[in-house]
Amino acid sequence: MSELESYFRGLAPGSDPLLAGLQQEAAVQGIPIVGPLVGRLLQMLVQATQARAVLELGAAIGYSTICLGRGLGPAGRLLTLERDPVLAQRAGDNLARAGLAGSCQVRQGQAAEVLPGLEGPYDLAFLDIDKAGYLPALGHCGRLLRPGGLLVVDNTSFSGSQDFNQALREDPAWLEAQLLCFLPGHSPERDGLALAVRA
């Protein structure tokens, strides 16, 4: 590892015992999670936008959900969707361990089935489901986010991501920026993250 790379790796934020335990659990069980750097970024984005209504697509064991939930103010609410019933249960348990059960709700189900029945407005949405589901979910995110609301999309460098990225770039409903950068501790490295504001 180069000196520069080690330096940047050393800048990744630390984790409290709860998140560190979930990172360990995810690593052992092969569950992809955003990790400490993007987790910190999610918390900051919720805080900075003062989002009161947050939607997450793809909870897994609730790692990113906890990060988002920690950014919420006292009146804030979060809904996360997770299709796997066992993971949805684990995410709910972990949110309770984080003291966030009152503000953050897990709904078990397929995004394609749940999203049409949801009503906005949401202030921030985080998209992290199966990559084939990104493009169909984009229209729903556009419908559910308020004007000025923020969409955060993980893993925008996935294989086959071109259609999704092009749609986000070309649709006048979005002002987007791709952060295609080296993200220490993120998976896989040299992956991308997109931010897009609803026009």
Ligand X SMILES: C[S@@+](CC[C@H](N)C(=O)[O-])C[C@H]1O[C@@H](n2cnc3c(N)ncnc32)[C@H](O)[C@@H]1O
123 is a contact residue toward ligand X (CB under 6 A): no
191 is a contact residue toward ligand X (CB under 6 A): no
Residue nearest to ligand X (CB): 58
194 is a contact residue toward ligand X (CB under 6 A): no
Please tell me the count of residues contacting ligand X according to CB under 6 A. 19
100 is a contact residue toward ligand X (CB under 6 A): no
Among 98, 128, 151, 165, binds ligand X (CB under 6 A): 128
3-state secondary structure the chain: CCHHHHHHHHCCCCCCHHHHHHHHHHHHHCCCCCHHHHHHHHHHHHHHHCCCEEEEECCCCCHHHHHHHHHCCCCCEEEEEECCHHHHHHHHHHHHHCCCCCCEEEEECCHHHHHHHCCCCEEEEEECCCHHHHHHHHHHHHHHEEEEEEEEEECCCCCCCHHHHHHHHHCCCEEEEEEECCCCCCCCCCCEEEEEEEC
111 is a contact residue toward ligand X (CB under 6 A): yes
36 is a contact residue toward ligand X (CB under 6 A): no
Residues found near ligand X in the complex (CB under 6 A): 32-34, 58-60, 63-64, 81-84, 87, 110-111, 128-130, 133
